[in-house]
Amino acid sequence: MAKIIITTTAEEKEAVLQAIKSFVGTTVAVSAIARKAGLNQNRVRFVVEDLIESGKVVRVPTKAFNKHYVRYKYEIVQEAN
């Protein structure tokens, strides 16, 4: 089976991090993050996944209407310098 690899840039990651910082503590859709970051919604999905895998962002479920319809809030992990 073919494997598709999508690479994200540092600029995209920084834009998404700045957008997530503006939604602290609230349930937010990826489309709202995309609007705030000025990026395509589909592109933001991949950037968020990269940020989660790298440990910079945590996805916390807030509302679960059923197993396919879950709302999340995103929290930035504070790293020790």
Taking only the tens place, the pLDDT of each residue in 24-76 is 889 999 999 999 999 999 999 999 999 999 999 999 999 999 989 999 999 99
**pLDDT at residue 5 in the model:** 87
Which token pair is 74? 């995103």
The one-letter amino acid at 30: V
| Counted domains in the chain | 1
Q: Is the pLDDT of residue 80 over 50?
A: no
Q: Is the pLDDT of residue 81 over 50?
A: no
Single pTM value for the model? 0.86
Residue 53 domain flag: yes
**pLDDT at residue 52 in the model:** 95
Tokens 């790293």 belong to 79
CATH for 15: 1.10.10.10
Q: Is the pLDDT of residue 79 over 70?
A: no
Its domain, for residue 46, covers: 10-76
